[in-house]
């Protein structure tokens, strides 16, 4: 098993993993523009970065992240926008390896959202020592 930083040649796999995750969550319509994603990840002004998880020489999963900053902690942290391990590669420790690599990259907090009712993921995150943030509701403002 290996976790590594994504490279420009991974763009097809990154987009495929995101689309697979969308289908797993019930969104059969999502189709990403590979060129746009490549520009956002690997262009002159990157907006996000990706960790790739491999198992047996195959791409098994990824963590899609960007930096954030906590004013109250006065330090940068990581926003984990998406973590996905393909079903056939689950139960091999890859999710834990991806999150452990994120922990190494910041002394700040790592945050993410999880869909309500995902009890298996909640148990996994609790096992790692993560906890839900009580009293906060996420808002989204779209153009």
Q: Which residues are catalytic?
A: 125
Residues in the chain: 143
Q: Could you give the CA distance from residue 16 to residue 85 in angstroms, rounded to a whole number?
A: 12
Q: Could you give the CA distance from residue 14 to residue 38 in angstroms, rounded to a whole number?
A: 10
Residues 6 or more apart whose CB falls under 8 angstroms from that of 81 comprise 48, 64, 65, 66, 112
Q: What angle do CA 108, 110, 115 make, to 5 degrees?
A: 160
Please name which of 5, 15, 1 lies closest in space to residue 104, comparing C-alpha atoms: 5
């Amino acid at each position: 098993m290996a976790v590594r930083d994504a490279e420009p040649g991974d763009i097809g796999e990154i987009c495929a993993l995101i689309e697979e995750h969308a289908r797993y969550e019930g969104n059969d319509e999502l189709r990403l523009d590979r060129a746009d994603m490549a520009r956002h990840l690997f262009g002159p002004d990157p907006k996000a970065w990706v960790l790739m998880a491999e198992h047996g020489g195959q791409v098994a999963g990824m963590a899609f992240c960007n930096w954030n900053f906590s004013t109250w902690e006065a330090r940068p942290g990581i926003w984990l926008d998406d973590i996905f391990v393909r079903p056939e590669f689950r139960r091999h420790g890859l999710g834990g390896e991806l999150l452990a690599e994120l922990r190494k990259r910041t002394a700040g907090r790592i945050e993410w959202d999880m869909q309500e009712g995902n009890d298996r993921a909640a148990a996994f995150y609790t096992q790692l020592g993560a906890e839900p943030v009580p009293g906060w509701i996420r808002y989204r403002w779209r153009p």
